[in-house]
């Protein structure tokens, strides 16, 4: 059902983006990757999806951090 129904729209209308997403988490990831300035300007509505690696200090998306940590063994 989530693959077909995409009720969440990208809020950055000024950029002309017509992105639609199944869940808010997908929207937040999209906004941080493609509309970073918008995300920084709207901290109350777009939560941060980045984290720092405790080993090397590199910034990663939260959903990629587990995979990144595997590089460190």
Report the chain (73 residues): mean pLDDT per 10 consecutive residues.
78 92 91 93 91 90 87 85
Query: Burial, 46: exposed, middle or buried (Cβ in 10 Å; 0-12, 13-18, 19+)?
Result: buried
The model's pTM: 0.74
Would you state the pLDDT for residue 63?
A: 82
């Amino acid at each position: 059902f989530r693959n077909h129904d995409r009720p969440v729209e990208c809020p950055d209308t000024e950029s002309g983006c017509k992105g639609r997403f199944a869940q808010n988490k997908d929207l937040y990831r999209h906004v941080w990757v493609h509309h970073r300035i918008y995300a920084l300007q709207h901290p109350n509505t777009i939560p941060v999806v980045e984290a720092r690696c405790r080993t090397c200090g590199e910034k990663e998306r939260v959903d990629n951090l587990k995979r990144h940590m595997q590089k460190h063994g």
